[in-house]
Structure 1
């Protein structure tokens, strides 16, 4: 990709924003070296990595790579057997700690977390916990080695402390004793590495000691008393032994680190790549960007794209299509209307997407992979352009017309401007016709009416305009595809107070063809607004029809299922009644034949008659007393603690108080009765999540208990909502979670400006059923989430 285009489209500013999200020196350097790629496989891989990082950041918070120090030089020294100093070993230790944190961050803690393309990076990390712990134990800072680094070092430092005490004791005796009158000040000082006393110069011969220094005036001599010379010598020797032992410790740690040179180098490489990938994910989160879909057919379809370098609160989204039914788009309209912004948005999105970055546009936006992007965009947008400006633009255009091909994207800003309008328009039409004939994807902005006519009359070329509000004399910055823009010079002049007679005279200088063309544009604009209004109304009607259609379909499906179930149950009951009646009739006939052959008493016959009467009555009411069957067979996994169920054999409702055992038996609480039943005798009651007086009842302990299980998530995601929208959703969620005895719960609000977090915290302060709340700790989402506990 040519550097001139990258500069024109301000790609480097995007790279600067990206590098700010990297936290390691190597990651920042890799971000600064990021360039657009031309292989669609590599582009899609980078986009997938960015998407995975974005998802992990949203779920788990940001991952810091600040401890990933550059260790290449240190590893090279280890390879040749050199010993590292404390600072180098400390950087290796911090690198290993960062690898350990990243390794923990990369683990999938729950079964519902899906594997992604970043797992391969996290799996290659080797925290080397033993080596990291040993470095951490031995080295406190770059200038300090721990006493516990070795037993000999501890012994030497203990001796140094004892020797210092002995020297101070001896010197204090001299200060408070025989040397008191000879001293300038009653203090103990050091010169070099020797303890000394400040002696007045006139008493130099009255004291026995070695002179190490004197004051600037010469009135004070810093003398080492002979009584502590040997002690100072012994102390200096101990300091020498201390340094020797420190070198031994550093050498030992260097030998230990040398065994893992390959793992340390791999850790650095993986952490640097992860830092770069997560920087892309963090930038996407900051821009509220999405992953574009790429193709190699030259199709561009940007859905409500926002230029990433403009104020997010003020930028107006644009929708741009190119390369599907037309390969040349000509954008017209007044100055400051947003034409150049639209042009730069298309070019910058292309560069960002091919560099593996998400684009700030709606999901399912589509971009094409181009081998080159050529842009002729002037920095000065003035009507007073000199010939030199025109020449510089032509020089730039000539340079890339020699190399442009069908795999290129070409962007022109004010093509043909800076020279005679007639010649400029003709030249612009010629250049665009040449590119259009070769099928090269091109987007150009212009003021020339000739180019509007060219777009209207040429197949495969489309007009577009940046909408302008005549009433307010201000652009709306909306890009409208398919409609040429008006210059609006007369209308703007009239609004600004130019006399009407001057405007009328100016209109007389227009040719009839030009005036007709402007009238045509006016009619097109009015038609467009009417069509858009009717389109919005039709879309609203269509959505309403789809909703009613869906509701009707659901109701019909429920009715059909209910009808089939009732018919099936009725047939089964009828068959059972007929079968039982037939069996009973056969038994009755057999008994009467038996009565005819044997001498049966009248009392026995009366008892048999009564039994037959009761059986007939029972059979007659069989449909009412028939044991119900569950509407569907349930599995053991369908039952959860607290589920509301109906016990069919008892015709009672209750709550599941234990999970099914291996035989399918479980306990059901029915009021004060707790009974063990088989799951085949149960029917799960499907009810809406609304609480009524019947669904809540008091137990013998007086506590409120749900009449059904409420499966409430332990987390609510409020990202992207305003404070009012978030509070409304949070109020409902906290009530549900509190009633379901779910505590603590997690509120995901992101970091951003902090407005959403502050609004949520102000709301939580006023809730009486909230016991406490806090920001998430490391691994919980940091300041992007709030953890709430109920009373």
Structure 2
């Protein structure tokens, strides 16, 4: 992409705005030096990454966090050259490894994010190197005592020697208080000294290391501490040498994996840049673009200039007027006409930025659908190209720039030309502009040009590859509206403006006669077309509002219907639970009656009492069944006194009672009487009562939809079973429905411990492995009682 084109479109400003959404210095630097891909596949990958981060942060409400990540590229370069990293650099490297690991874990928990998971698939974060650095380097970036036994001994002696020096000096402070300027111990260089009054320097023999500005105070190292200070200096040098040896050892380990760490930096930068693109797109209210082939139209509705949106929000700029751009596949040249300051140049820049944004993976500030073809390059000539040093006029500058564009053309180029052919004789400039646009129609995929030449308006009617557009102008206010009108050329406004401003009528009449009446008629036709366009747009807006109201009403009705269905399911489930509860109680009471009957005497009275209790339980607990009309006469109908068989218990019995609805009969065998359903008996010849048709069972209530989120997902990988149980108990206590538990595969010990704990937990109704797409046997889903 030519650098001149990027500067003309103010691309560096957009990159600067994008960089404010980055979280790390790596991302800021990458955004400010944003590279523009040369292949469609690269742009598509970037767009996929942006979309996944956008969904992660705005749909799943799980932001990417870059805490603790630093720009460690300089440290890696120095380690490669066998330099020694400072403690602070090593600490930053360790925190970068930890922060990157957290990013990878977050992405691993979202397997549906295919592009991001591919990005971090081969990421190595070296936890053992991170742990060793933290073991040797403390939080201030200093080498810790625990780094080596040798260093522990040296620093212990340092502290001991320092204490001895302080003890001697404190003694002198007390004994020689009159000779001292102040009651304190200070340092000069790395030597401990006392502030002694100059006239009494002989009171404390020693070495003078410094003198105050006034000369009244001498800073003396007492003779009694000289040897101790010497020892302390030697110990300090030994400690520094040992610290440097430890840092050198750590630096060598960093150098061994330097290539992997550079790859890590690249991945972190890519993630931060993707997050910045997603957050910038969200802030802009932009939508994901789709690259279309040559048979589909270019569609950019309600397109806004991103830099003007920034200016409106951050610099109290004017509201941004969106434009609509819909270009048919056969169109190769669009000629935009209209007055100066009408927004023609802004339109060119808006289009150019929109295509560049899509190429680098940014969302475009336009309404969906955002559909545009792939351009391998954007070539622009916008604004004056005047150069006093080269003795070039504005026209000469344009010609040189256009010549460069022609030499760089490909059949997939987007060309943006501002005021094509301007700056010279109108007749020659118009002829040159027509020839240039026809050449571009043959050799470029799309050209958008602004012009004042009326002759270019007629090209549409001579060549189907040309289209007209104009920026709207308000005759009443004498100002542009910045709206883009398609299919209508701009009309001449010079005489109209002059007349509204009170210009002398005689001069205007002479000018009108000079240009002839044809021009006036053309302007009147164009004005009529513009008026028709405005009326159509007003009606379209009214229809859109009506459609929106209808859709809102439909949505409300749909939501109410869904609410009623959900309520119906809930009531049905409550009723089913109540019935099952009553049946459970009834079974217990029936079992109790049977146990009492088995344990007591086998008498007719006992049997009668048991039968009565069973009938009482049936009436109280079991749900009643409403009779349903029989479809046809059964083949066997029991009567009073009939002998029947009961196959379920292998007994013959006598019918001694019939229920009014003929669904049940009371039978007696021996001393026992019991009431059974007519479907449980048959005649002595084997004929059975045809059962009544059962009503169709109600469809089962659909299982509630369980959606995996960050709140119901628990990552236990790397935990011990005992620690995992404590975390798991807290999570189950707060769970509402299903809980995704990530334990990984590993040795299987953690998985077995988790499932054993779930099996005995009272709130867990059941558990199962997740689908393969959600982790398979590395993830267990626990269904908890609500």
Equivalent position SS for 2:353? helix
The alpha carbon displacement at 1:331 in A equals 0.9
Counterpart residue number, 1:577? 630
Give the distance between the partners of 2:481 and 2:66, measured in 1 at CA: 43
Give the stretch that moved more between structures: 409-418 or 33-42: 33-42
Distance 1:217 1:614 in 2: 124
Using a 3 Å threshold, how does the CA distance of structure 1 residues 153 and 484 change in structure 2: closer, same or farther? Answer: same
State the partner residue of 2:97.
Answer: 96
- Residue 276 of structure 1: aligned partner: 273
Alpha-carbon distance change, 331 to 83 in structure 1, aligned in 2, over 3 angstroms:
closer
1:450-487 deviations in whole A, cap 9, x for unaligned? 22223344322111111222233332211111111223
Q: Is the aligned partner of 1:630 residue 2:697?
A: yes
* Selected match of 1:335 from 328, 332, 340: 340
- Within the candidate set 237, 242, 249, 1:240 is matched to 237
CA distance in 2, matches of 1:352, 1:176: 76
2:468 equivalent to 1:471: no
CA–CA separation in structure 2 for the residues paired with 1:613 and 1:274: 78
1:521-563 deviations in whole A, cap 9, x for unaligned?
Answer: 12212222233344455667778999999999999xx9xxxxx
CA, structure 1 residues 492+202, in 2 after alignment: closer, same or farther (shift >3 Å)?
same
CA offsets, 1:18-39, max 9 Å, x none?
2333343443333333333332
Q: 1:201 to 1:518 in 2, by over 3 A?
A: closer
Deviations 1:654-708 (A, max 9, x none): xxxxxxxxxxxxxxxxxxxxxxxxxxxxxxxxxxxxxxxxxxxxxxxxxxxxxxx
CA contact (8 A) 2:25 2:71 kept: yes
| Aligned twin of 1:253 | 250
| Cα RMSD for the two superposed structures | 4.3
3-state SS of the aligned residue for 1:310?
helix
Which residue, 389, 398, 401 being the options, matches 1:393?
398
Following superposition, the deviation at residue 14 of structure 1 comes to 1.7
Provide TM-score, normalisation by structure 2. 0.67
Q: Which runs of 5+ in 1 are unaligned?
A: 559-572, 593-603, 619-624, 641-710, 716-740, 744-791
Alignment of 1:319-334 (within 5 A): 319-334=324-339
User: Matches of 2:16 and 2:695 in 1, distance apart?
Assistant: 71
Closer, same or farther: CA 627–365 of 1 in aligned 2, 3 Å: same
State the Cα distance separating 1:427 from its structure 2 match. Answer: 2.1
2:515 aligned counterpart, secondary structure: coil
Mark the CA change 1:628 to 1:379 in structure 2 (over 3 Å): closer, same or farther: farther
What SS does the aligned partner of 1:161 have?
Answer: helix
Taking a change above 3 Å as real, the CA distance of residues 639 and 479 of structure 1, as seen in their structure-2 partners, is closer
Kindly provide the CA deviation profile for residues 10-60 of structure 1, in whole angstroms up to 9, marking residues without a partner as x.
122222222333343443333333333332222211221222222223244
Q: Which residue of 2 aligns with 1:43?
A: 43
Partner of 1:294: 291
Structure 1 partner of 2:492: 487
- Stretches of structure 2 lacking an aligned partner (at least 5 in a row): 313-318, 565-625, 644-653, 666-691, 712-734, 738-786
Match of 1:2 in 2: 2
Query: Where does 1:517-596 land on structure 2 (aligned, <5 Å)?
Result: 517-536=522-541, 577-579=630-632, 581-584=633-636
2:195 counterpart SS class: strand
CA distance in 2, matches of 1:552, 1:168: 85
CA separation in 2, counterparts of 1:180 and 1:639? 84
- Assess, with a 3 A threshold, how the Cα gap between structure 1 residues 197 and 613 changes in structure 2: closer, same or farther: closer
1:311-710 aligned at under 5 Å gives the runs: 311=309, 313=312, 314-379=319-384, 388-438=393-443, 440-498=445-503, 503-536=508-541, 577-579=630-632, 581-584=633-636, 615=662, 628-633=695-700, 637=703
Post-superposition offset of 1:351: 1.9
Q: Say yes or no: does 1:192 pair with 2:189.
A: yes
1:630 Cα deviation after fit:
2.8
State the match for 2:773 in structure 1.
Answer: none
Name which of 159, 162, 169 aligns with 2:160: 162
1:122: how far off?
2.9
Counterpart residue number, 1:14 = 14
Q: Is 2:210 aligned against 1:213?
A: yes
Q: 2:124 aligns with which of 108, 126, 138?
A: 126
Three-state SS of the structure 2 residue aligned to 1:444 is strand
Q: Which residue of 1 aligns with 2:133?
A: 135
1:73-118 Cα offsets, whole Å, 9 max, x none, are 5446656766533233123212212213322332326xxx723201
Matches of 1:553 and 1:222, distance apart in 2: 89
Q: 1:628 to 1:497 in 2, by over 3 A?
A: farther
Equivalent residue pairs, number: 603
1:445 Cα offset (Å)? 1.0
Tell me how far apart the structure 1 counterparts of residues 431 and 8 of structure 2 sit (CA, whole Å). Answer: 26
Q: CA separation in 2, counterparts of 1:639 and 1:67? A: 38
Distance 2:141 2:550 in 1: 76
The whole-number CA distance in structure 1 between the counterparts of 2:736 and 2:19 is 41
Counterpart Cα distance in 2 of 1:252 and 1:402 = 57
1:306 offset after TM fit, Å? 0.6
Distance 1:415 1:119 in 2: 48
Change (3 A) 1:391 1:527: same
Kindly provide the CA deviation profile for residues 128-152 of structure 1, in whole angstroms up to 9, marking residues without a partner as x.
3343233234323566333444455
Offset at 1:6? 1.4
The answer to whether the 8 Å contact 1:39/1:369 transfers is no
Instruction: Mark the CA change 1:459 to 1:261 in structure 2 (over 3 Å): closer, same or farther.
Output: closer
Residue 52 (structure 2) aligns with: 52
Secondary structure of the structure 2 residue equivalent to 1:272: helix
| Partner Cα distance (1:287, 1:553) in 2 | 31
Are the aligned partners of 1:124 and 1:266 in contact in 2 as well (CA < 8 Å)? no
- Aligned equivalent of 2:107: 106
Aligned residue number for residue 763 of structure 2: none
Contact 2:145 2:151 in 1 (8 A): yes
Rounded Cα–Cα distance in structure 2 between residues aligned with 1:359 and 1:278: 16
Instruction: Output one character per residue of 1:542-596: Cα deviation in whole Å (capped at 9) or x when no partner.
Output: 78999999999999xx9xxxxxxxxxxxxxx9996133x2435x6679979xxxx
**Partner secondary structure for residue 210 of structure 1:** strand
**Superimposed CA distance per residue, residues 419-443 of structure 1 (whole angstroms, 9 cap, x where no aligned partner):** 2223222222222223234464111
> What are the superposed Cα offsets for residues 731-781 of structure 1, whole Å, 9 maximum, x if unpaired?
xxxxxxxxxx999xxxxxxxxxxxxxxxxxxxxxxxxxxxxxxxxxxxxxx
State the distance in 1 between where 2:378 and 2:406 align.
12
| Distance verdict in 2 for CA 1:404–1:83, change over 3 Å | closer
Give, in whole Å, the separation in 1 of the partners of 2:160 and 2:556: 90
Question: Per chain length, whose mean CA-contact separation is higher, i.e. which structure has more relative contact order (CA < 8 Å, sep 6+)?
Answer: 1
